[in-house]
Amino acid sequence: MPAPRVLPLDETLDHQSRACARAGSLLYAEVLAGVAADVEAQGVCADLLCPRADEPFASALPLRFLGAVHRLVLDGRAPALAAHYPSAGGEPGPGLVDDFLATVAEHAPAVEARMAHGVQTNEVGRSAALAPAYAAIARRSGLPLRVLELGASGGLNLRWDRYWYDTGVSHLGDPASPVRFVGVWQAAGDLPDLSGPVEVAERAGCDRHPLDVTTHDGRQTLRSYLWPDQVERRTRLEAAFMVAAQVPAPVEQSDLGRWAERQLADPTPGMATVVVHSIVWQYVERAARDRLRAALRRAGEWATPGAPVAWLRFEPAGPVGDLRLTWWPGGDEVVLATAEYHGVPVYWGAPPRP
């Protein structure tokens, strides 16, 4: 495995600024451009970011920094900046960057402390990519699903079957759910088949730092990593909190390699075991990746048609994410779709990447 990629800080900030603009967050694109200028001028952002400049690109340093400041806004500790943040009832306007920098200067210790935490998005939109794959696994196996999510954060995507999905041709989930995905799929050929039945018999997850979304602190943490001007994502997250209050989904604090070894130690006849993760791989150390792959290989050896194992993952593949499925017995692998990192829109059938 190659060494983690490290970019110069100015390139990291520029890359994230352009990525935010492409994904529709002009607010964060403007803020990051201002942060880059402040770093170049050896301002307050340089004091916080330069000591971390040698961190791997995959550690998402700019997003950790932005999330730390956003948490101040959401907690009511940065009223001037809140006036620019739609997530706090504001509207971006003149002085956005100046108010951001002033907030960082005023609360530098708090920002620095929270930057030590990893990014926790638990993006619910990714369920729109995953759900058709779960339906395909259920049809192929003819069995209820045992869903094991790695890097599950607050477990919101473990409740995927309690959301509503409608392609206009087929549908899946709870029609009364507040989390709704309607018409978010595109395809050169057929749209994904959501037909069932699809039953989740067991659901569980692990995370190095799991969040309890039934608490205010857990919810605020997830809110802080959402981009403040992306209203649709915030609306979806709040709806997912409502579902989480009704549907238990245990998330254990654990390294994913060790956890997977335990979960895959023995066959589970009468269920299709699905090991799933989404936009997690970049944060996983090499040893944990190796343990997971070894656990999956061993599970593949004992897998049978009556106790199959599937490895479903949605992970970065350049400017979009690939949705891949490996199936045992047999070990065959297929790319099912590509999607934006936040999940929607979903391009079913893996068209050429932009």
Q: Are 332 and 326 in contact (CB under 8 A)?
A: yes
Alpha carbon 261 to its chain's center: 23
Locate all alpha helices (DSSP H) within 94-230, ordered by sequence: 96-106, 108-115, 127-141, 216-224
Model confidence pLDDT, tens digit, residues 273-331: 999 999 999 889 899 999 999 999 999 999 999 999 999 999 999 889 999 999 999 99
Average pLDDT over residues 232-253: 96
- Dihedral angle over CA of 99, 105, 106, 108, nearest 10: 130
pLDDT of residue 354: 45
CB neighbour list of residue 226: distance below 8 Å, 6 or more residues apart = 70, 87, 121, 233, 234, 237
Backbone dihedral region for residue 343 (phi beyond 0: left; psi -120 to 50: alpha; all else: beta):
left
Burial class (CB in 10 A: 0-12, 13-18, 19+), 325: buried
Which stretches does DSSP call E strand in the chain?
A: 145-150, 164-166, 171-173, 180-182, 185-187, 200-207, 251-253, 272-278, 309-317, 320-328, 332-339, 346-348
pLDDT at 1: 44
Q: Which has the closest alpha carbon to 165: 137, 203, 129?
A: 129
Residue 353 pLDDT exceeds 70: no
Residue type, 261: E
Angstrom CA distances, 136 to 87, 151, 301, 302, stand at: 37, 23, 22, 21
- Angle of helix 216-224 relative to helix 61-74, nearest 10 degrees, comes to 130
Q: Is the pLDDT of residue 25 over 50?
A: yes
Tokens 């000591």: give the residue: 51
Query: What is the rounded average pLDDT for all residues in the chain?
Result: 95
Q: Check if the beta carbon of residue 177 is closer than 8 Å to that of residue 243.
A: yes
Domain boundaries, the chain: 9-115, 124-212+229-348
Q: Tokens standing for 76?
A: 């009511």
Which strands form 272-278's sheet, in the order they lie side by side? 185-187, 346-348, 332-339, 320-328, 309-317, 272-278, 145-150, 200-207, 251-253
Question: Per-residue pLDDT tens for 74-106?
Answer: 999 999 999 999 999 999 999 999 999 999 999
Identify the H or E element spanning 27. Answer: helix 26-40
Higher per-residue confidence, 22 vs 308 = 308
- The 8-class DSSP code of residue 118 comes to P
Is residue 134 scored above 80 in pLDDT? Answer: yes
Distance of alpha carbon 328 from alpha carbon 334, whole angstroms: 12
Q: What is the pLDDT of residues 142-166, one digit of tens each?
A: 999 999 999 999 999 999 999 999 9
pTM above 0.75, yes or no: yes
Smallest Cα–Cα separation from 172: which of 200, 142, 197?
197
Matching residue, tokens 């926790």? 120
Which pLDDT does position 283 carry in this prediction?
A: 87
Task: Give the residue among 283, 279, 157 at the shortest CA–CA distance from 213.
Answer: 157
Sheet of 164-166: strand order equals 171-173, 164-166, 180-182
Integer Cα distance of 51 and 40 in angstroms: 14
